Every structure is written in C-alpha cells, then in structure tokens.
C-alpha cells in the first residue's frame, strides 16, 4: 500500500519576463516561483494498477519524480507499508522501481550490461542477477537484442530495457511514466502484458498515460491531476460514471472547471 499525502513542489524561475503569454496565465505562477505541484494526494493498494491522468503540464511527471525521490518535495509525505520513505531516500529506492520519461541507457553497454549495472547498485548477487535477467527477457521479449549495444536500439528496445532495469530488484511498488509512448503496437502490448503480470503478483503499479484505452484495459483506479492539484481519485467505474461511461468525456468533466476558470481570467 502506498499513500501520497499533500505533495507540493515549486521551482524558481530564472527570468519570469521570458515566459510566454500562455505560461503567464497559469495560476500556479506566483512571483518568481512556479508551483508545479500544489497539493496532490492519493493511494494505491496491493495489486492495484492506478492510471494517473492529466493534461500536458499538469504536474504528473513532477509528482512521479517526487515519489521516486529524484526530486525532493517542499512538503507532503509518501508512505509505503506505513513507512515515510521521503525521510529515508535509500529505503525508497529499494522499495520503488521507477521508469522515467527518458530511458537514459548507457549507449556503449549492451542491454544486459545496462540491467546488470543497476542490479549491482541494488546489491543483488550475480546468480540472482542472471536469473532475473533471464526471467525479464522472457516477459519483455528481449532475447533478440539483449546482447547488442543499446546505442543501436529502437525506441521499443530501449523502453523494454529501461523497464527491466527499473524492476530488476523486484520492488514493492512500480512507477511508470508514460511507458508506451512512441512504441509500436506489438511493443506496447508486451509492456501492457508485463504490467498485468505485476498486478497478478500483487505489486502496486502507478502509471501515467494519455491513452485512455490503456486505462480502460488495465486500471482499477484513476487519479486526475490538473494544475498541480489532484482533482479526482476513485475507481475506474466511478470515473466512467461521471459522463455516461465515456472515459474521454469523464476526463473533460474533471478538468473543465479549471479550463473555465482560466478562460474567465483572460
């Protein structure tokens, strides 16, 4: 079980005068600070797949980076199995597997070597590393490219390798930031099947996406973030019920009040 409570994060602006007119209209802009995440709270239980939705720039990636401890929040807490992992980042990194929006593979290393490197950082023994890589290569269909240098990988190959690297240590929680973006249909289906496998093992999964069909296919729970605030948290069916079973219309119903507020200020 993971519980996120009132996360907030602001960033200092180097030169507010250089902001576009659209950026200046964002209510999160306060003086020389941009409050990317103002107040985000939600929970994800054992074996749940939670779809994190929101418009571009809503604060989803900043939220996920805070959960992974890549960013330190200004306030708020993250509890995993009752422990506030933000107070102990090393504990958080043992418990969490995080896939960011960029794969960040070492190009001169093979796919296998990239995964091995991160496994050693997590303190895994060589025999366990070999076993885990074999298991993940099967699940993610990686055998054909696992021992090639990653600088020559396609987008799908890079993404699969990055996912394997993120979960090599069998984390208690998996966070995926738009894991199927840029993938072809076959690669995307492999990733979705992998998420189903995590779910079957009881591992909570939080993943952000713009593909509502993926949410409908995988998720028990939906959270919508808009302008740095969690606007909706509930079951997939409750989300659908907002607009006569239409995910697209439900999404628009959640963010429409914010859009109206912005338009009223113009």
Using the predicted structure, report yes or no on whether residue 264 has a pLDDT greater than 80: no
| Residue reference for tokens 């779809």 | 51
Confidence of residue 59 (pLDDT cuts 50, 70, 90): very high
pLDDT > 70? residue 212: yes
List pLDDT tens digits, range 71-130: 999 999 999 888 888 888 888 888 899 998 776 899 999 999 999 999 999 999 999 999
**Burial category of 170 from C-beta neighbours within 10 Å (exposed 0-12, middle 13-18, buried 19 and up):** middle
Binned at pLDDT 50, 70 and 90, residue 262 comes out as very low
Average pLDDT, the chain: 90
> What CATH number is associated with residue 230?
3.40.50.300
**Counting Cβ atoms within 10 Å, is residue 243 exposed (0-12), middle (13-18) or buried (19+)?**
middle
In this prediction, residue 244 carries a pLDDT of: 87
Rg (CA), the chain: 19
Q: Note down the domain range covering 47.
A: 2-265
Domain count, the chain: 1
């Amino acid at each position: 079980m993971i519980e996120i409570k009132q996360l907030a994060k602001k960033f200092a602006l180097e030169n507010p005068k250089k902001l576009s007119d659209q950026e200046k209209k964002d209510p999160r802009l306060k003086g020389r600070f941009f409050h990317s995440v103002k107040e985000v709270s939600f929970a994800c239980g054992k074996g749940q797949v939670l779809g994190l939705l929101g418009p571009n720039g809503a604060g989803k990636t900043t939220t996920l980076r805070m959960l992974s401890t890549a960013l330190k929040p200004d306030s708020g807490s993250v509890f995993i199995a009752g422990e506030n992992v933000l107070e102990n980042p090393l504990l958080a990194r043992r418990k969490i597997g995080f896939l960011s929006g960029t794969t960040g593979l070492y190009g001169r290393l093979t796919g296998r070597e990239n995964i091995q490197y991160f496994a050693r950082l997590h303190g895994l023994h060589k025999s366990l590393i070999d076993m885990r890589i074999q298991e993940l290569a099967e699940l993610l269909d990686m055998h054909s490219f696992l021992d090639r240098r990653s600088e020559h990988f396609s987008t799908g190959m890079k993404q699969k390798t990055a996912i394997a690297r993120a979960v090599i240590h069998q984390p208690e929680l998996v966070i995926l930031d738009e894991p199927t973006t840029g993938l072809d249909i076959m690669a995307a289906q492999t990733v979705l099947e992998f998420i189903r496998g995590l779910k079957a093992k009881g591992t909570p999964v939080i993943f952000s996406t713009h593909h509502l069909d993926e949410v409908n296919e995988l998720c028990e729970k939906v959270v919508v973030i808009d302008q740095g605030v969690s606007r909706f948290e509930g079951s997939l069916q409750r989300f659908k019920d907002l607009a006569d079973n239409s995910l697209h219309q439900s999404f628009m119903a959640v963010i429409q009040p914010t859009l109206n507020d912005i338009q009223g200020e113009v």
